[in-house]
Structure formats: C-alpha cells, structure tokens
Amino acid sequence: MLDSCAGQVKPVANSANDTRSPALNKHNFASLLLEHGFTPKTYDFDSTMLGFQHDIFNALIHNDPVFSEQSFIREQPDCPDALLRCELVTQSDDLSAAVQHFYARWFEELRYSNSVLELLNLEMHEDAASIHVLTISKANAMTFVFNIQRGA
C-alpha cells in the first residue's frame, strides 16, 4: 500500500513488485499541479474533491457489481499528491478483475475528456493494489490514490 499523505506518496511495499512507469518515477504529483498553475490560492480544490466524490461513489461503489458498499472515499486537502483517497473493497477475491473494472470505469466515466495530462500508476501486490492518479485539464485538476483490497 501507499503512505499517501506525508506530503508525497511513497511506496511502502517491496520495490521489486513496483510496476510504475519509469517516467512517472521522476514526478511528484504536487509539483506537476504547481507546474500547471494549480495551487490552493488559484484553484478551488474543495469543489473539485466534492464533485469527484459523487462521481466515484456513483461509478464504483453504489450498486457496483465488483466493489462493496464498505468502500469509502476520504478527502485529504493537505496531501496534494493524493487529494482524494479511495479505499475500494472487492466483493470477490479476484483482484485482477477488480483492477480491470476500475480501469474500465475510469476511462468510461471518471476521467476528464479533455485532459492535458493524465498519469495512472499501478502497484499490484498479492492481496491489494494501489492506483495513484493525476488528471489535469485546461481548467481542472485532481490527484487520487485508489487502494483496492480483496473483500471475500
């Protein structure tokens, strides 16, 4: 899993299992937000977090065939590398299927259609997966960490 709010998201699992893109390793999401002009003084992250919470709940939790309603979403306004933390609990033990389901929902329902920059970082482990996401459009930006755990 990830320590997703010590100012920076850092892997805490075995780095031999780290499947992140080498290009992503060079970036921290907070600095990318700044590079694109998104700061707490210039952008309303609170409204964006609220909007994404509703979208994520409707796309991934409410009446979802893969993720349990035990899943939850937390705001982390002091953590620019993962402003929203989503703990997703599967209804089965098929972690790979849950990750595939997440990606399908992300690309169909959650991502910005006009993104300027979008990075998704998957860390897959035996019993859990973490997907760290940065998405930026011309007018909006958000960072997330989605932790997926087997529930059954």
β-strands 84-89, 72-75 pairing: antiparallel
- Listed by start position, the domains of the chain span 2-149
Give the integer Cα–Cα distance in Å for 49 and 17: 30
The amino acid present at 13, given as its one-letter code, is: A
| Mean predicted lDDT score pLDDT of the chain | 86
3-class DSSP assignment, residue 19: coil
pLDDT at 102: 98
Any residues with CB less than 8 A from the CB of 128 and at least 6 apart, and which? 1, 95, 147, 148, 149, 150
56-to-41, 72, 137 alpha-carbon distances in Å: 25, 10, 18
Q: For 37-69, what is each residue's pLDDT tens digit?
A: 999 999 999 999 999 999 999 999 999 999 999
Look at residues 74, 61, 51, 65 and name the one whose alpha carbon lies nearest to residue 140: 51
The pTM assigned to this predicted structure is 0.84
152 residues of the chain, pLDDT tens digit each: 444 564 333 333 333 334 444 444 445 899 999 999 999 999 999 999 999 999 999 999 999 999 999 999 999 999 999 999 999 999 998 999 999 999 999 999 999 999 999 999 999 999 999 999 999 999 999 999 999 999 86
